[in-house]
Chains A and B, each alone.
Chain A
């Protein structure tokens, strides 16, 4: 059975695509799937950094496509998760180093080696974006509940729809207290504007900053709140119907005004 090829994209930069790619990938691997993460942000690579694997890069995606090494030589296996590997981007090259067809071919090859291929897409809607979606069968659109992010996500959704790529939404960095005071858009607002199926709601949490800087996926640690949220996202990806949990439950934020959801 061939792998599912999923691109994570957003339009707006800095909303959490790479962090989501890493954590979803790690959570999938933890459940026993073979996962390959692909960094397509040529020239601005970060996937390796967020996973803490930057020191082990020998070959990159461009070198694979140019035939200067085998795919297996370029893949870096994560030592913490048995079945997780990444294919890093090149840092000293530019996005015009490869074409959409080359990318699609590479993703297909990777799909023969794994159950899930997650493609981390660069910000924007230029060549780098077009290359990243070239190999994908499905998309996860990541946004934050901010007007500019939503507008950009909307543009990206339009482009994905043109290519008939099925997509689902993750809303990242939601701050329930700000939603309550009306200072932030609610999930319902966001879903209404973007009108695609919801895959996950992730609250803003400082633990992300530290784990990202240290190169450790959240799902590694025991004490992280966001871990269970990523695990639920992964189960939804696998096809389970998991309800979105109540943000107001004690132990989360402790306030009881309104029922806000996350998960």
Chain B
């Protein structure tokens, strides 16, 4: 593991897993490679389980000081907290390293969404590749997609839950020829005219007349639904099922929802649709 790397807005010095003197020597070499380059940076020393002596810490700070780098925090397991207070530094709970922690984390069930690579790359397209890269970086993955799936480092406890894809809100009437696509849900405050198209990975809700084409659960979620105040679509799709009315649906008298029951798309009055069963079954 490299002794010196970027972390957030500053530097991280990895001292936990190795001999202190060795690491310090390497650090000196690294800093010396590019004089002045790191000047002004703030650094966190990642100690993990190690307990360097006061003298060692002083030498570390001096070395950093020679190159204009300020040591402002220590990270590591619990004991490091005390050390940090003694040194007048900030304490950061261990973010990585520490065998015990890693072992415990590996045993913990994964809390991520079960998105396949293909779906995740689709999410990247929609949410913006930048967001995807940022998320990957924050987890310590490379920002270039690898072809073969690699087991990811477990998410850190300090990090928030992986963010579910956002709901796309559109205020206004969607006219023929216009389309809204979203990985998450789509909500339209207005009408959706014939010739308009809504494609959502999640649910679709229309606060008005839905007269165009609506495709909910487009990534395979058969539990997705389509809601509308006036449900009169040209065509309805949920996951891989398609339905179109034989006759023309005269404006329905009440708000309704479309959902999949027994492998068919059914339209149900809103007051009878019941709680969502979000089992995310794939329909093949």
Chain B residues with a Cβ closer than 8 Å to the other chain, count = 13
Contact with A along B96-133 (1 / 0, CB 8 A): 00000000000000000000000000000000000000
Q: At the interface, yes or no: B197 with Cβ under 8 Å from chain A?
A: yes
Given A91-B195, A91-B197, A92-B197, A54–B177 Cβ distance below 8 Å? no
Q: Which of A43, A45, A55 lies in contact with B244, CB distance below 8 A?
A: A55
The closest CB in chain A to the CB of B197 belongs to A92
* Contact present for A55 and B178 (CB under 8 Å): no
Smallest Cβ distance from A104 to chain B, in angstroms? Answer: 26
Q: At the interface, yes or no: B81 with Cβ under 8 Å from chain A?
A: no
CA–CA, A56 and B234, complex, Å: 8
List B contacts of A45 (CB < 8 A).
195
CA–CA, A58 and B234, complex, Å: 11
Q: At the interface, yes or no: B251 with Cβ under 8 Å from chain A?
A: no
List B contacts of A91 (CB < 8 A).
176-177, 195, 197
* Contact present for B179 and A57 (CB under 8 Å): no
Contacting B at CB under 8 A, from A41-83, are: 43, 45, 54-58
CA–CA, A45 and B197, complex, Å: 14
* Contact present for B177 and A57 (CB under 8 Å): no
Given A55-B244, A55-B245, A92–B177 Cβ distance below 8 Å? yes
The closest CB in chain A to the CB of B243 belongs to A55
* Contact present for B235 and A55 (CB under 8 Å): yes
Q: At the interface, yes or no: B242 with Cβ under 8 Å from chain A?
A: yes
List A contacts of B194 (CB < 8 A).
54
Seen from chain B, the residues whose Cβ lies within 8 Å of a Cβ on chain A are 176-179, 194-197, 234-235, 242, 244-245
Contacting B at CB under 8 A, from A72-109, are: 91-92
Seen from chain A, the residues whose Cβ lies within 8 Å of a Cβ on chain B are 43, 45, 54-58, 91-92
A-B contact count (CB 8 A): 22
Smallest Cβ distance from B192 to chain A, in angstroms? Answer: 13
* Contact present for A55 and B234 (CB under 8 Å): yes
Most buried by B among A45, A54, A56, A92: A92
Most buried by A among B178, B196, B234: B234
A-B contact pairs, 7 of them (CB 8 A): A43-B177, A54-B194, A56-B244, A58-B242, A91-B195, A92-B178, A92-B197
CA–CA, A7 and B242, complex, Å: 32
List A contacts of B197 (CB < 8 A).
91-92
List B contacts of A92 (CB < 8 A).
177-179, 196-197
The closest CB in chain A to the CB of B181 belongs to A92
List B contacts of A54 (CB < 8 A).
194, 234
The closest CB in chain A to the CB of B235 belongs to A55
* Contact present for B235 and A57 (CB under 8 Å): yes
Smallest Cβ distance from A40 to chain B, in angstroms? Answer: 16
Contacts beyond the supplied A91-B177, A91-B197: 18 A-B pairs with Cβ under 8 Å = A43-B177, A45-B195, A54-B194, A54-B234, A55-B234, A55-B235, A55-B244, A55-B245, A56-B235, A56-B244, A57-B235, A58-B235, A58-B242, A91-B176, A91-B195, A92-B178, A92-B196, A92-B197
Smallest Cβ distance from B81 to chain A, in angstroms? Answer: 57
List B contacts of A55 (CB < 8 A).
234-235, 244-245
List A contacts of B242 (CB < 8 A).
58
The closest CB in chain A to the CB of B195 belongs to A91
List A contacts of B178 (CB < 8 A).
92
CA–CA, A43 and B242, complex, Å: 23
The closest CB in chain B to the CB of A90 belongs to B177
CA–CA, A216 and B177, complex, Å: 24
The closest CB in chain B to the CB of A44 belongs to B177
List B contacts of A57 (CB < 8 A).
235
CA–CA, A45 and B235, complex, Å: 16
List A contacts of B235 (CB < 8 A).
55-58
The closest CB in chain A to the CB of B176 belongs to A91
The closest CB in chain B to the CB of A49 belongs to B194
The closest CB in chain B to the CB of A45 belongs to B195
List A contacts of B234 (CB < 8 A).
54-55
CA–CA, A45 and B177, complex, Å: 10
List A contacts of B195 (CB < 8 A).
45, 91
Smallest Cβ distance from A145 to chain B, in angstroms? Answer: 32
